[in-house]
Amino acid sequence: MESCLSVSSAPPPKKNIQEPVRPNANFHKSVWGDHFLKYASNPEQINDGVDKQHKQLKEELRKKLVVNVNIERAEEQLKLIDAIQRLGVAYHFRTEIASVLNNQLELWNNKVDDDDLYLTSLRFRLLRQQGYNVSCAVFEKFKNIDGRFNECLTDDVRGLLSLYESTHMRVHKEDILEEALEFTVAQLEQVIKSSLSDKVLLSQVVHALNIPIRKSLTRLEARYFISVYEQDKSCNETLLKFSKLDFNILQKLHQQEVADLTLWWKNLNVSEKVPYARDRLVECYFWALAEYFEPQYSRARKMSGKITALISLIDDTYDSYGTFEELALFTDAAQRWDINAIDQLPEYMRPIFRELIYLYNAMEEELLNDGISYRVEYAKQSVIQMITAYNDEAIWYHNNYVPTFEEYLKVALVSSGYRMLPTNSFVGMGKTEVPHQAFDWVSNNPLMVKASTIIARLDNDKVGHEHEQDRGHVASGVECYMKQHGATKEEAVVEFNKRISSAWKDINQECLHPLPVPMHLLERVLNLVRFVTLFYKNGDMYTNSNTHMKEFISSLLVESIPS
């Protein structure tokens, strides 16, 4: 008996359990660390004097806008609106701007044909931005009998720049705007080579060719344009003062929001619990800031920033760490959306899954008092769809399967996150700002969202596919297209650029009346596309956030503007 007990109680022989081989993405550490925590302990308050000055300047500008428009004052009003929008303060004057542009539409319809290239292009762009489907045939008057743009226009740099900006509002089958884009790019590139004596105008040409107004983030454009506008001898001093003041006031609010998110992130202890993932909390807040910078969207920004940060960890788990079997377990847990499913997960996955469930529960509870907690279910479903797409890609990788390009897109457009992000961006917005049917609209993959996913996915694949293949990753769109069509990488990129250009036309079309949903909701999707365009302009600025991304964030969240 004793011998039997001693044998049975002896520890079993140790099994030689081999740790799975995991890819090493080798992401750099957080650029920001705890930098923004200082704004949590010492929040800067807006003093009464600054607040009073802000209100006075705003009222002065409002009075300038509500003056009746006539032909003589049309250019002055258009230039004022353009400056207001580019300086990032148009959210204060939405009603007044809408009224002025409605009057400008009447002037347009009355065929004011003596406008020069600058004014014609400016009016066209501002009206298109407002959602008016004005005809591009107005530019025919700037062509010669051979059907080409007049050579005399080449000396009108301001007019060329205005025309160039207007071409980015084009929709499908607007050949004259395609011709205008080709013409203006060629001429403006010559302007740069010729070293224009007007250095302020030259700066604007260089800036526009890099990122046109239509594709620029409002807040970054404001930061840039303030520096340009203050050098303009004809600038409106009231507007300049107001823009600087407003920028700095908003910056203080944004700094406090990042501080709140940094505290949340620090409590999650991401750097220790999820060391393999990109630690990009501030960059995720910047993403949310790109969606909406206005003060009334503070709750939405913080919700969106948290969601994006968590999704980034999940993305890296699928792309850079999890085994095939582990990812299947996480996918099953996400599809069940049950905290009890955490028991089936490996230890390292549990903090991420737990916080995912807790975050959406907290959002639901916060929105309950407003009677809009139903929104969270739409957001959850979009996340589940995205995680399922992550797993579909993991299956492809596990099986060494390279799908056809169209088969790839069906999954990759979902895994891009750009179906999930618009839905989630609506959740934290005000009760009256997002009608229930808007969630049905955004969840059904409308053209606006579909176009945004195409841009996000193809831009990502163009710049990131080589690095992803080096570390072990499912075939990107570039590899899928090359294999299916026997194409070179360069040919694949040309095709991607064509599709991206077409998708931008779809977006522009969807932003013309009649609108599928209110314009301020379409702007959320548009802003997400603007962000991803910036995001991949100089490589993957999210993964490698210690260069251009750091500079952008510093300009908006660290460096105030001298008054």
Annotated binding site: 315, 319, 468
CA distance 169 to 186: 19
Rounded CA-CA distance 11/467 in Å is: 47
User: Which residue type, as a one-letter code, is found at position 202?
Assistant: L
User: From CA 367, how far away is CA 299, in angstroms rounded?
Assistant: 10
User: Residues annotated as binding site for Mg(2+)?
Assistant: 315, 319, 468
Q: Give me the DSSP letters along 342-382.
A: GGGS-GGGHHHHHHHHHHHHHHHHHHHTTT-TTHHHHHHHH
Question: Distance between CA 402 and CA 34 in Å, rounded?
Answer: 42
Do the beta carbons of residue 340 and residue 354 sit within 8 Å? no
Burial (Cβ within 10 Å: 0-12, 13-18, ≥19) of residue 44: middle
Residue 112 zone, left/alpha/beta (φ > 0; ψ -120 to 50; rest): beta
* Three-class DSSP category at 539: strand
Q: What are phi and psi of 540, to 5 degrees?
A: -90, 95
Q: Would you tell me how many other CB atoms lie within 10 Å of the CB of residue 100?
A: 23
Q: How far apart are CA 107 and CA 76, in angstroms?
A: 14
Write the burial class of residue 27 (CB in 10 Å: 0-12 exposed, 13-18 middle, 19+ buried). middle
| Listed residue (501, 461, 299) closest to 291, CA to CA | 299
Nearest to 130 by CA among 95, 160, 159: 95
Positive or negative: CA dihedral 121, 122, 124, 125: positive
Nearest to 132 by CA among 163, 97, 160: 97
How many Cβ atoms are within 10 Å of 200's Cβ, its own excluded?
14
- Helix (H) / strand (E) element for 551: namely helix 548-557
Cβ-based neighbours of 297, under 8 Å, separated by 6 or more: 291, 428, 429
The Cβ of residue 346 has, within 10 Å, a number of other Cβ atoms equal to 12
